[in-house]
Amino acid sequence: MASCLETINLPHLPSSLPVHVALYRDVQNAASLKGHLLAGQKEFEYAFIDASMVLSRAHVTAAVFRAVNDYMHNRLQSHNVHSEIVFSLNPTNNIAESFRRFGITDSTKDLLVIKVSVSPEITHESVAAHLSSSVQGTPVPFDDQTLSEVSDINKIKKAYKLGALPSPSSPNDEAKQRLEKSLLSAIALRGS
């Protein structure tokens, strides 16, 4: 299966901490991936995110940035930087709730996988190899176009208590930009 793993050097983060991101559709083995994660298997230490809860690239990168920045400054509130990414998507301080809302579930069909190179042996190649042997799904590009086909706007608005905002009707209209900006500020201000 062709890999769509994207490796990103986020601005402001040290180049020694690249972030690997892959998006899958029609995932067949969500329950078993979740099982490996819950069993604490080191090789399954990923941020497994239900992609229907993701609005855009900017939405995810804001959460990754917050988690990695907190990781760099020894302020993690959860087990590791990967669980912290899932937690960082949440607008409130409840870790268990953040996993219920944004994390992989048994019924997850569209899955966003994120891995931070927190140690030198984690590379693009090692992550690509492990994912292609463990995720049964169709790799698709991690871009706003694809995400817009996947995201569940109403569920996202509900999780962030933004039900009053207008819903986007086209891929990059004003309503989408306003919703995205509102998500970014909620992520930034969590715990303030």
Using CB under 8 A as the criterion, which residues of the chain lie in contact with other proteins when the complex forms?
A: 10-15, 57-58, 61-62, 65-66, 69, 72-75, 162, 165, 178, 181-182, 184-186, 188-189, 192
- Rounded to 10°, the helix 81-88/57-72 angle is 130
Shortest approach of other proteins to residue 169 CB, angstroms? Answer: 16
Q: Give the C-alpha separation, 61 to 63, whole Å.
A: 5
- Shortest Å distance, C-beta 170 to other proteins: 17
Spatial CA neighbour of 7 closest among 127, 90, 99: 127
* Residue number, 75 or 100, with CB nearest to other proteins: 75
User: Least distance to other proteins from the beta carbon of 184, Å?
Assistant: 6
Instruction: Pick the closer one to other proteins by CB: 10 or 95.
Output: 10
Question: CB 67: neighbour CB atoms within 10 A?
Answer: 29
Dihedral of CA atoms 64, 175, 190, 43 in degrees, nearest 10, equals -30
Which structure tokens are listed for 56?
Answer: 């855009």
DSSP H/E element including 22: strand 19-25
Q: How far is the CB of 160 from other proteins (least distance, A)?
A: 10
Considering beta carbons, is residue 12 or 42 the nearer one to other proteins? 12
39 or 164: whose CB is closer to other proteins?
164
